[in-house]
Structure 1
Amino acid sequence: MRSSSVKAMWSGLLALGVLAALVLAALGVPVRAEPGPAPYLDPQLSVEDRVDDLLDRMSLDEKLGQMTQPERRYITPEEITRYRIGSVLSSGGSAPAPNTPERWADMYDGFQRAALAQPLRIPLMYGVDAVHGHNTVVGATIFPHNIGLGASRDPALVREIGAATAREMAGTGVDWNFAPCVCVARDDRWGRTYESFGEVPELPSMMTTIIEGLQGDELGGPASVLATAKHYVGDGGTAGGDDRGDTRIPERELRAIHLPPFRAAVKRGVGSVMISYSSWNGLKMHQNRYLITDVLKRELGFTGFVVSDYNGIDEIDGESGFTRDEVAAAINAGIDMVMVPTEWRRFIEYLRDGVKDGDVPVSRIDDANRRILAKKFELGLFEHPMADRTYLGTVGGAAHRELARRAVGESQVLLKNDGVLPLDDDDKIFVAGGGADDIGVQSGGWTITWQGEPGPITPGTTILEGIRAAADSSTAVAYGRDGTGVDGSYDAAIAVVGEEPYAEYHGDRTGDLGLDADDLKAIERLRAADVPVVVVLVSGRPMDVAAELPGWDALVAAWLPGTEGAGVADVLFGATAPTGRLPVTWMRDGGQQPINRGDGKEPLFPFGYGLTYD
């Protein structure tokens, strides 16, 4: 739902028009009676009829504008009006200053007013990567990344997370989420492994319930935002785990492993699908007409619209920048809207030339617009285009944080336990490791900034704070990042170690997947004190720990839990029983990659493994 402020604005404009007519009549100037509102503005008509009427009124330039998505930093409100732009995005970390929910709503409304100033008053859509909560907004609730949610095996929980994310988005006005990622991660060296719910198609398919949470029972309901299934298709199967690489597999394997989650997303009514940077057997997905038009749109029956990835058309020919031929190839392949963050004017120019020269059929332009406009009507943007600020109070609210804490608890996977867990609340505990007291580390990439970063980047509860809250108030919980200060008087020592934040191809690890030297030294200091050692891994994928594991008394895979570190402590102290099961196969060493269920390799821990307490 949207604010009623625009209705008031139109009422005011109508009153001014009536007043002007009375003045002209008093002066003896003939006044021509104006027709009523255009049919496309009538919410009582069907979406199909409204789209037909609007499409008939649109010029080629207006249609091209609807297919263009610039980045907020590279376009002004005046340009939105002039070029009839249909969508704007915030890329990773792109936020207004100050980065507050209220300022986001102000920014959104400003862009929307510019769109409504166009002659046809077509509202825009605003897209963000809210991949684990409304994660670019400081103060938003940050949920576990998908790999942790896959460990929970709880589709109902994921639906709740989608609905909570939609509420926080609605308060800021943002109406389009570039999520969920329904990729099937087949090589843990891939920098997007944590964006996957798991290595088998059944897990991402069952977790498409998040689409229902985001979009609601139907688009246009309270706090309903458009969802995006990404990245179509095969991005998790590239050779060597190379982000944006080549998925070299036969079609039957592509269909058996990578296509099912998209089929499930389409069945749940997902509004948009984003194309992958990767290739399939050497052909870039951004120009693959067979997979986009023939398979996705025709065979799977997808009726929403297809959007490119950020500058995705630039990479079709392997050269930097995009050409007119690349624009034509992408649109003819079936891409309906194109992310062109900076060079959006050139994109419009090239696409216009392609249409005029016959390289891009007008029917393809009309089909793209029909798909885009239908979603705008279904979202109710023509009736309620502005931010619904009644939802601002949900951003980072207590109910959402409690939901996130529950999700963290359900996502923990207990991999080893030699009787040390659960801890007693009167145990004397020493905590070490770089991930213990760091919101940025435990949240990972796509948190406030694109790559994420260590430090107190947004409000939340660190794992250390959660441990201290769970322990008896009279018991000292000591902390030494590098393990210095531990001695034999402690009942247990907890090392929270793992990976620094990363996203996408920056996170590709083609070498080993072991812990870094500082983490290993901290663990050795704990072991030298001759106390039970619990290792909590904060990481976006399995780590190479087989050689060190015999010296640890317990091992917990915490994945990337987000802002609610108390959920980790809930499991460590037994307030929540560990029920998570591995969504990926855990390698014996990095040389086993890729390793997946059923491939005949002997893992350290098999897919689906997870202990619980007696």
Structure 2
Amino acid sequence: MPNYLALSLCLLGATATYAQSSKPLYQNRQATTEARVQDLLGRMTVEEKVGQLSTLLGWEMYQKDGQKVNYSTAYKKAVDERYVGALWATLRADPWTKKTLLTGLNPKLAAEATNALQKYAVEHTRLHIPLLLAEECPHGHMAIGTTVFPTSIGQSSTWDPALIKRMAATIATEARVQGAHIGYGPVLDLAREPRWSRVEETYGEDPVLNSQMGVAMVQGFQGSSLKSGVNIVSTLKHFTAYGVPEGGHNGGSISTGQRELFQSFLPPFRAAVKAGAQSIMTAYNSIDGVPCSANTYLLTDVLRKQWGFQGFTVSDLGSITGLATNHRVAATPPEAAALAINAGLDDDLSGYGYDKELLEAVKQKLVAPEVLDRAVGRVLRVKFEMGLFENPYVDPSKAAKLVKTPANVQLARQVARESVVLLKNEKDLLPLTKTLQRIAVIGPNADNIYNQLGDYTAPQPESNVVTVLEGIKAKVSAATQVTYVKGCAIRDTTSANIAEAVAAARNAQVAIVVLGGSSARDFKTEYQSTGAATVTAAAGGQVISDMESGEGYDRATLDLLGKQQELLQAVVATGTPVVVVLIKGRPLNLNWMAVHVPALLDAWYPGQEGGNAVADVLFGDYNPAGRLPISVPKSVGQLPVYYNAKRPTPHDYVEVNNKPLYSFGHGLSYSKFEYSDLHVSAAETPGAVQIKVRFKVKNTSSRAGDEVAQLYLGDDVSSVVTPAKQLKKFQRLSLKAGEQQEVTLELTADDLMLLNSGLKWVVEPGTFTVHLGASSEDIRLKAQFKVNQAVEKAQ
């Protein structure tokens, strides 16, 4: 018997060894990623390769029957006939997708749905290639039941990259445990055109602040390993210069020179690529007549050759087809597909930009086989790096436990609190005392959950969102009378109850008026195939939605819409002290209230915990330290009005001066801070320079608080025109009452460089001025230093 047992064990071992060795190389987890990619490419047909480059709209790919979910007929057809390799927004729910709280998926069902989709892809395709699932994740995973954080313009108002990294890691976990692999975000467009509809999705007007926030998001999303089960690939948007369209028209053409492109618009993307971002999305616009989705210079020369990007590129929705239909740089759809893929655009978000059009382009020899393999290999590489060939599934019970936990909700509250910007606080009206007996809460955004959340937000049960009214009621005792009157809508002028609001204000000790805008999508609005709203000027007397911001809602003015200004003026006229809370997605015209209202708070779109966060600030349980990431103009006639415009300094207009109403970096606190003892030292070595900037910040008040110290740099004389000052470093400091802290900020050659007339990055010898203070206009300390030797960056 022992001999037979030994023989059997030998045979079993040999069989196992043979089975392992007979496996295709691409299925061997011990092989290198590159070897696996090349082996798989060598086994694929042209049709299978093209299918891997199609990212279809995903919400039609599952079917729900009560508490059961499975793949749909549409998905089976897409896999069987088109070999699709990826889906987008499978778990998305909003009026555009027509997925509601009833028809959409909770986290557990979402995990079951993505498992069903993966199972079909893995088990019913010839080569068993798993699916990539991309989701919208700019301020939370855009799916039912997830945590909703402040929109990006609020995130950057925190000036706290470490906090944003924590937030991004939380978003990544919530998305990954439901089966997602890619998160669209961060949006790194510079917002220098506030009429543009998507300002809320950006980090504002400055390349350095944008870079810091972008790096934080990438690091939080991707973590240290994409195989962790809680991390996702970060897709940077939109490459590039999308946020400054002429006239504010979303997707419109932009005007910029190459030097400005490299000095302002590209640095945030470069920083995020350096941080390891694995995906990048092209923008709809053209630059100097070349559409970004067919720009070889950007997609190959800059992104790949100069920056060493190793991930994959993806089109924005429909932008490949747009090369023929919008930009008119291609005569036919196959020519458009060829233009895009030859330029370096790998993946098609839509499923109709490549697909049969790319197959036809290959057939016509407009696309070489090696170009197709290059693009497919980049997409497959991510699938291997995420471990999807070994582990394509997720645990639905884990999704139910890890999405929107109490800790995640608390983090949303912290991000919202840090994002609140105190614009004005005359005679220290704020913070309010909790012993007030009568408070009037007035305005269209005081008790509207969706107006508080911003674009790219899924439907919410009312219990998920704390409005400003609810936050205030929770903050005061039962003995305090809180009277709420809506007063008017954001845009609709057909009805209002201003008289009732006035009566409430007259009877109150303080009136808190909550105004602004809305990006809340509704089921009445028509949407384009890209998901942007179809917007037309409203006819007189027509009942319209509140939505005046969000993708597609570009503005001609920045005035408060509807009867909001009339409401505010009527309330102020009562003589009752007024606090205005602004909930909105872009800078608005605040001129009148800046003069006539003693206290102004800007909360942007603060997310699901926004009401608690605003109440924390109003009543002093949190000392505000948010800072503006974008300038607030006095008039659209000033635009553009960003702080770091190139010299010469703009002169005044006949009607107004050249300054914004509130400048970049502005924000007040309930504490007072003093800056002193600035010391700047420069050390030069061949090919390098290091500048140490030391100074002290003291909290001179009796209340603990945060200060955001901001270091701006000016190149006093330069060979090409530069800004008078440009943010280079910042640090958010927490100081107890009376506490003083010494801060050291370091500048290197990269911080001092400009792109000279020969388009080379250099540090030029000469003097530089350090501007140190609390905003771009509130400069407390200045000092000069000198650089003696030129430094040139290797190209």
The answer to whether the superposition gives a TM-score over 0.5 is: yes
Q: Within 5 Å, which residues of 2 pair with 1:4-43?
A: 36-43=22-29
Amino acid at match of 2:53: M
Number of paired residues? 574
Q: 1:507 maps to what in 2?
A: 553
User: Which residue matches 2:35?
Assistant: 49
Query: Given the alignment of the two structures, is residue 591 of structure 1 paired with residue 637 of structure 2, yes or no?
Result: yes
Which residue identity does 2:48 align to in structure 1? Answer: E
TM-aligned CA deviation for residue 78 of structure 1: 3.9
Aligned counterpart, 2:134: 127
Structure-2 change in CA distance of 1:517 and 1:60 (3 Å): closer
Partner of 1:3: none
User: Equivalent of 1:548, from 593, 616, 625?
Assistant: 593
Deviations 1:504-561 (A, max 9, x none): 542211x211112322233233223321100011111111011332211111111010
Give the conservation status (yes or no) of the 8 Å contact 2:105–2:144.
yes
Alignment of 1:519-538 (within 5 A): 519-538=564-583
Cα displacement string for residues 91-139 of structure 1 (whole angstroms, at most 9, x for unaligned residues): 673358233222322221222122112111110111121211012x222
Once residues 463 and 108 of structure 2 are traced to their aligned partners in structure 1, the CA distance between those partners, rounded to angstroms, is 16
Task: Give secondary structure in 2 for the equivalent of 1:583.
Answer: coil
**Contact conserved, 2:177 with 2:229, CA < 8 A, in 1?**
no
SS in 1 for 2:187: coil
Whether the 8 Å CA contact 2:282–2:313 is kept in 1: the answer is yes
Q: 1:309 to 1:92 in 2, by over 3 A?
A: farther
Letter in 2 for 1:424: T
Asked which structure has the greater CA Rg, the reply is 2
Tell me the percent identity: 36
Q: Is the 8 A contact 1:242 1:505 kept in 2?
A: no
Amino acid at match of 1:609: H
Amino acid at match of 1:340: S
Instruction: Check the 8 A contact 1:324/1:351 in 2, yes or no.
Output: yes
Partner residue, 1:281: 288
Secondary structure of 1:534's aligned partner: strand
Contact 1:82–1:118, Cα closer than 8 Å, also in 2: no
Match of 2:418 in 1: 410
Unaligned runs of 5+ in 2: 1-17, 62-73, 488-500, 520-546, 651-657, 672-795
1:354: Cα distance to partner? 1.6
TM superposition shift of 1:456: 6.0
- The correspondence for 2:510, drawn from 488, 492, 495, is 492
User: Hey, what does 1:87 align to over in structure 2?
Assistant: 86
Structure 1 residues 275 and 33: alpha-carbon distance in aligned structure 2, compared to 1, 3 A threshold: closer
1:213-262 CA-to-partner distances (Å, cap 9, x unmatched) read 11111211131111100100110122222211111111100111110011
- State TM-score, norm by structure 2: 0.70
Per the TM alignment, residue 33 of structure 1 is displaced from its structure 2 partner at its CA by: 8.2
Which residue in the other structure is 1:397 paired with? 405
Q: Which has the higher contact order (CA 8 A, sep 6+)?
A: 1
**Residue equivalent to 1:8:** none
Deviation track 1:378-416 (CA, whole Å, cap 9, x = no partner) reads 111112111333133222221111001000000011111
Once structures 1 and 2 are overlaid, which stretch shifts more, 255-264 or 316-325?
A: 316-325
1:112 partner SS:
helix
**Is the CA contact (8 Å cut-off) linking 1:463 and 1:569 kept in structure 2?**
yes
Q: Is 1:462 aligned to residue 467 of structure 2?
A: yes
8 Å contact from structure 2 (residues 505, 511) kept in 1 = no
User: Deviation string for 1:39-63 (max 9, x for gaps)?
Assistant: 2222222212221222222221111
Mapped partners of 1:407, 1:519: distance in 2? 28
Match of 1:495, SS state, is strand
Match of 1:434 among 425, 441, 444: 444
- Tell me by how many angstroms 1:65 deviates: 0.9
In structure 2, the residue matched to 1:424 is: 433
Q: Residues 115 and 179 of structure 2 are in contact (CA less than 8 Å); yes or no, is this contact kept in structure 1?
A: yes
Match of 1:339 in 2: 349
**Which of residues 103, 115, 126 in structure 1 aligns to 2:121?**
115
Q: In structure 2, what is the Cα distance between the partners aligned to 1:171 and 1:291?
A: 34
Tell me the amino acid that sits aligned with residue 123 of structure 1.
Answer: P
Q: Please tell me whether the aligned partners of residues 92 and 129 of structure 1 are also in contact (alpha carbons under 8 angstroms).
A: no
Contact 1:305 1:368 in 2 (8 A): yes
Query: Post-superposition shift, 1:270?
Result: 0.7
1 CA distance for matches of 2:609 and 2:88?
28
Aligned 8 A contact 1:432 1:495 in 2: yes
> Are 2:216 and 1:176 equivalent residues in the alignment?
no
- When the two chains are superposed, the root-mean-square deviation of aligned CA atoms in Å is 2.1
CA 1:322–1:457 in structure 2 vs 1: closer, same or farther (change >3 Å)?
A: farther
Q: Which is richer in strand? A: 2
**Residue 60 of structure 1: aligned partner:** 46
Distance 1:612 1:392, change over 3 A: same
Go from structure 1 to structure 2 and tell me whether the alpha carbon gap of 1:560 and 1:50 turns closer, same or farther (over 3 Å shift): same
CA distance in 2, matches of 1:329, 1:130: 29
CA distance in 1, matches of 2:462, 2:53: 35
How far did 1:357 drift? 2.5
Runs of 4+ in 1 over 4 A off after TM superposition: 32-35, 319-322, 455-458, 502-505
Aligned to 2:754: none
